[in-house]
Amino acid sequence: MEREVGLVEGGKRKVAKDSDTEKKNRNDEFCKFQTIANITKKESQIYMDQIEQTWKLEAIGIRDLMTDYQNEKASEGDV
C-alpha cells in the first residue's frame, strides 16, 4: 500500500543583498515545499526501525559521555 507524505514547512533562506537598491538581507522568509513519498508500509517500518536504533545508540553514547564526565569530576574532587 502506498502512502503519501504531505506539506512540509521549515527553514529560513538567505536572500542576497541587492547592492543597487541597498535592500537588507531578509533571512526571515520561510520556505514551503511539498514532498510525496511513495513507499510501502513495510519499507516505512524498516526506516522507522533504523531511526529508532540510531536514536538508541545516540542516547547510549550521550549517557556514556555523561557518566565519564561525572566520574572525571568526582575523581577531581577526591584530589
Residue-wise pLDDT tens digits, 8-58 = 555 555 555 555 555 554 555 555 555 556 666 777 777 788 888 888 878
pLDDT at residue 66 above 50? yes
Please provide the DSSP assignment of 17-64 as one string: --TTTTPPP---EEEEEE-----BHHHHHHHHHHHHHHHHHHHHHHHH
Q: Which residue has the higher pLDDT, 39 or 79?
A: 39
Mean pLDDT, range 61-76, rounded to an integer: 81
pTM of the complete model: 0.31
Query: What does the radius of gyration of the chain's CA atoms come to, in whole angstroms?
Result: 23
CA distance 29 to 33: 13
3-class secondary-structure state, position 10: strand
CB within 8 Å of 33: residues ≥ 6 apart: 8
